[in-house]
Amino acid sequence: LDFISVDVSFISLTLVLPVAHRFLKEGKTMVCLVKPQFEAGKENVGKKGVVRDPKIHEMVIEKVANFASQQGFAILGLDYSPIKGPEGNIEYLLHLGKQEGGEALSHETVETVVKTAHESL
């Protein structure tokens, strides 16, 4: 495939990324919607399935990005989705490429994106 868009619910991206890697052509990209409520673990999810703690958002993004790197993806970008989930969840867009190299996603970048999301939405 030349491009993959991933928006899954009730399943972790860590189960989807290895399969996506097999189908994505070398040098092509994909965008994943990172949903903290489905990555954080039940103990970190609040009422109505909402994760409000920015530190949990940071942990989830870093977990998914690190896993993606281990699967052979380069991290090309991170931003927050301008659309909140139905119950008010803040979600994030992770841009990945099937290519060599690429820089790791720094904690500072993650922190800035999460902070901006919480201030803007």
- State which CATH number among 3.20.190.10, 3.40.190.10, 3.65.10.10, 3.40.50.150 fits the domain covering 3-120: 3.40.50.150
CA distance 51 to 74: 27
Average pLDDT over residues 102-108: 88
Question: In this predicted model, what pLDDT tens digit does every residue of 70-104 receive, in sequence order?
Answer: 999 999 999 999 999 888 999 999 999 999 877 78
- Domain ranges for the chain: 3-120
Secondary structure in 3-state letters for 8-19: CCCCCHHHHHHH
Distances from the Cα of 24 to the Cαs of 13, 31, 62, 79, 96, in angstroms?
15, 12, 22, 22, 11
Identify residue 91 by its one-letter amino acid code: E
Question: In this predicted model, what pLDDT tens digit does every residue of 13-61 receive, in sequence order?
Answer: 999 999 999 999 999 999 999 999 999 999 999 989 999 999 999 999 9
